[in-house]
């Protein structure tokens, strides 16, 4: 397994819709292993394939680090989502603070549906359906957005984005230090 460099917010791959994963393969399984290794190394709870430069409908997550100390939050462990589709969203929304490995040091509140139902293929390409709420739903929605070319910054007002402008400039120039590797700036 390898720790892969993470693409930052201004890379065009993060603004493109991804392609479905067509088949299971040794290469796909190795990519999934590398994605988990990268996510854990960066102390993240989710990582989408575009964040490591792969335009695939694939993300991994393990939100247990967040949910283990929260009452009424279920620990579900590490999960692989292949070709996910959110098939149901609660009308009630909740505002919570989010961050992103592709946008280090930037955090802000985003309003999202309180609960969702998602269908996907698991690591073994078996069809699954998961009803999620709380942090689990939030992480799934955040990572699912990456597959649609959407970043959590896109939910912020122009004013809120301006408040993060100096940090975003540091990221653009490759001058922000992180504990995990980033794709080098040209």
H or E element in which residue 147 lies: helix 134-147
Phi, psi of 119 (to 5 degrees): -105, 145
Structure tokens at 121: 């293929």
- Other Cβ atoms less than 10 A from the Cβ of 50: the count is 26
Q: What pTM was computed for the model?
A: 0.93
Q: Is the pLDDT of residue 176 over 60?
A: yes
Q: What is the per-residue pLDDT across 128-150, written as a single tens digit (0 to 9) for each? A: 999 999 889 999 999 999 999 99
Domain membership of residue 40 (yes or no) is: yes
Q: What is the per-residue pLDDT across 110-124, written as a single tens digit (0 to 9) for each? A: 999 999 999 999 999
Domain membership of residue 163 (yes or no) is: no
Residue-level pLDDT at 162: 94
Q: Which domain holds residue 145?
A: 12-95+111-152
Q: What is the per-residue pLDDT across 79-99, written as a single tens digit (0 to 9) for each? A: 999 999 999 999 999 999 999
- Find the mean pLDDT for residues 10-26: 96
DSSP, collapsed to helix, strand or coil, labels residue 52 as helix
Count CA atoms closer than 13 A to 112's CA, side-chain side. 28
Question: What is the spatial distance between Cα 174 and Cα 182, in angstroms, rounded to a whole number?
Answer: 8
What's the number of domains the chain is made of?
Answer: 1
Domain membership of residue 81 (yes or no) is: yes
* Contact yes or no for 171/123 (Cβ under 8 A): no
Count CA atoms closer than 13 A to 153's CA, side-chain side. 22
* Contact yes or no for 71/168 (Cβ under 8 A): no
Active site residues: 143
CATH code of 32's domain:
3.90.45.10
Question: What is the spatial distance between Cα 35 and Cα 72, in angstroms, rounded to a whole number?
Answer: 28
Domain membership of residue 159 (yes or no) is: no
């Amino acid at each position: 397994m390898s720790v892969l460099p993470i693409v930052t917010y201004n890379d065009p791959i993060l603004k493109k819709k991804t392609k479905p994963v067509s088949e299971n393969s040794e290469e796909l399984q190795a990519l999934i292993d590398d994605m988990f290794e990268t996510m854990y190394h960066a102390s993240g709870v989710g990582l989408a394939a575009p964040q490591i430069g792969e335009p695939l409908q694939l993300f991994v997550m393990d939100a247990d680090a967040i949910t283990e100390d929260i009452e009424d939050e279920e620990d579900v462990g590490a999960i692989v989502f292949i070709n996910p589709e959110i098939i149901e969203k609660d009308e009630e929304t909740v505002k919570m603070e989010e961050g992103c490995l592709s946008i280090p040091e930037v955090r802000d509140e985003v309003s999202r549906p309180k609960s969702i139902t998602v269908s996907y293929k698991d690591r073994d390409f078996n069809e699954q359906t998961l009803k999620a709420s709380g942090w689990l739903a939030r992480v799934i929605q955040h990572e699912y957005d990456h597959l649609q070319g959407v970043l959590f910054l896109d939910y912020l007002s122009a004013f809120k984005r301006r408040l993060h402008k100096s940090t975003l400039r540091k990221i653009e120039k490759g001058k922000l230090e992180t504990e995990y590797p980033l794709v080098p700036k040209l």
